Amino acid sequence: MGSEQQPLLAIRHAAVAYDRLPVVEDVDGTVGPGQSVALIGPNGAGKSTLIKAVLGLLPVVRGSIEVLGRSPASARSEVAYVPQADTLDPEFPVSALQVVLMGRYRRIGWVRRAARADRAAARSALEAVGLSERASARFGVLSGGQRQRVLLARAIAQEPRLLLLDEPFNGVDAVSQDLLLAALQRLRAEGAAVVMATHDLGLAHLACDEVCLLNRHQVGFGPIGTTLTPELLRATYGGQALALRGDAVIVAKP
């Protein structure tokens, strides 16, 4: 990353606490415009905790986290978060388009209703994930992959400069996976930075150019080709990593 460019996300020797106990420590790295970083590590490694800290929802107890040079809480309008689709109630009475429109709520402001421009932005975001024709379908009748695409569309409608995703490819079919990857690629081409927590090393290779290996502390941070090595993966996953023929590593799913 060029030194003349301010990083969108700057993490400096940060430790993040949950209930006053540090959950993840010594995280250090920057993410610039157009970059994409995969957070990789076993369950409980602190991936979601780190994402919550970047959203300003958990305290940084040592070091610092800055988003666009500001504190995370004051930069929220520039950040979009994509939750896992299966954490949301499929019976909830909202349409796909209404879910996407939620991404505009902060811009619309209190009391006021969505304007024509907001609806247009929501429709074009839905189109960007290939779901225009399902706009009026209830969120819960869509497939898991389609629901995940709706949530990405909601984030796109926020017009974020930093996008945070929690396991965006869990339970997602191949078609949805390709559409998600393409939409993420477009966002990056427009200058947004992407940070995603994932279990899937293969998808990390497809979707990201950098990787941050976590297991309660940072094991490695750097370009995916030089950082996703058997040694560092073994250090990240401990006993869950199995060596194959010396150079490949399989990570047993927890």
Partner 1 sequence: MTELLVDPFRLPYMQRALLEVVLLGVLAGAVGVFVVLRRLAFVADALTHTVFPGIVIAFLLDQSILLGALAFGLLTAVLLAGIGAHRRVGDDAALAILLTSFFSLGVVLVSRARTFASDLTVFLFGRVLTVDRADLVQTLALAVLVLAVLAALRKELVLRAFDPAGAAAMGYRTVVLDLVLNVLIALVVVAAVKAVGTVLVIALIVVPAAAARLLADRVASMTALACLLGVAGGWLGLATSYRVSVDHGVRLASGATIVVVLVALFLAAASAAPLRRLAEGMVRR
128 phi-psi bin (left φ>0, alpha ψ -120 to 50, beta other): alpha
Give the contact letters, 125-154, x = binds to partner 1 (CB under 8 A), - = no: -------------x---------------x
**Lookup result for tokens 């994930």:** 129
Whether the CB-CB separation of 207 and 38 falls below 8 Å is answered with: yes
Q: Kindly state whether residue 70 participates in binding partner 1, applying the rule CB under 8 A.
A: no
Among 89, 245, 246, 253, indicate the residue that binds partner 1 (CB under 8 A). Answer: 89
Q: Could you give the CA distance from residue 5 to residue 32 in angstroms, rounded to a whole number?
A: 8
Give the residue ranges of DSSP H helices in 21-139: 47-54, 96-101, 105-108, 116-128
Q: Kindly state whether residue 6 participates in binding partner 1, applying the rule CB under 8 A.
A: no
In the complex with partner 1, the residue whose CB is nearer, 5 or 43, is: 43
Q: Count residues contacting partner 1 (CB under 8 A)?
A: 30
Whether the CB-CB separation of 252 and 240 falls below 8 Å is answered with: yes
Q: Could you give the CA distance from residue 54 to residue 114 in angstroms, rounded to a whole number?
A: 28
* Residue 45 C-beta: closest distance to partner 1, Å: 19
In the complex with partner 1, the residue whose CB is nearer, 97 or 241, is: 97
* Residue 37 C-beta: closest distance to partner 1, Å: 18
Tokens of 74: 């004051």
Q: Kindly state whether residue 87 participates in binding partner 1, applying the rule CB under 8 A.
A: yes
Among 22, 33, 63, 83, indicate the residue that binds partner 1 (CB under 8 A). Answer: 83
* Residue 231 C-beta: closest distance to partner 1, Å: 35
**Lookup result for tokens 């959950």:** 23
DSSP 152-188: HHHHHHT--SEEEEESTTTT--HHHHHHHHHHHHHHH
Q: Kindly state whether residue 76 participates in binding partner 1, applying the rule CB under 8 A.
A: yes
Q: Could you give the CA distance from residue 133 to residue 122 in angstroms, rounded to a whole number?
A: 13
Q: Kindly state whether residue 247 participates in binding partner 1, applying the rule CB under 8 A.
A: no
* Residue 230 C-beta: closest distance to partner 1, Å: 35
Residue ranges binding partner 1 (CB under 8 A): 55, 57, 73, 76-77, 79-81, 83, 87-89, 92-95, 98-99, 102, 105-106, 108, 110-111, 113-114, 138, 154, 158, 164
